[in-house]
Amino acid sequence: MRAVAKALDIDWDTAYAKIVKNGFLMSDMPSSDSVWGSALMANGFTRHAIPDTCPFCYTAEEFCEDHPDGTFVLGFGGHVATVVDGTLYDSWDSSKEIPTYYYEREKKDGLSVL
């Protein structure tokens, strides 16, 4: 919930309500990747896989270095964190964790979709 709230720039209560509503409509738990992911996708995000060139060595810290602009949600398999303009936001230091996928906020004409 915190990662979605940060990525969408909304408060936690609003993020929680969006995700729980999606869970109800999808008949799935709010913690399911497809449930909270659908909240991101409904707000201009697309999902991408991390390239397989080094699947066990590409850290969140390196992702941040490679993505200095934009808003992203990194998936670590059971945990997510948000990256905004190259800064990792999480409730603990997950910079050495290995992400397996990410959501990216799509941009139109240089401006982020809200």
Q: What is the pLDDT of residue 77?
A: 82
Q: Is the pLDDT of residue 114 over 50?
A: no
Structure confidence by residue, pLDDT tens digits, 63-86: 999 999 999 999 998 899 999 999
Q: What is the pLDDT of residues 13-54, one digit of tens each?
A: 999 999 999 999 999 999 999 999 999 999 999 999 998 777
Residue-averaged pLDDT of the chain: 91
pLDDT, position 113: 47
Q: Are 98 and 61 in contact (CB under 8 A)?
A: no
Q: What is the mean pLDDT of residues 82-110?
A: 91
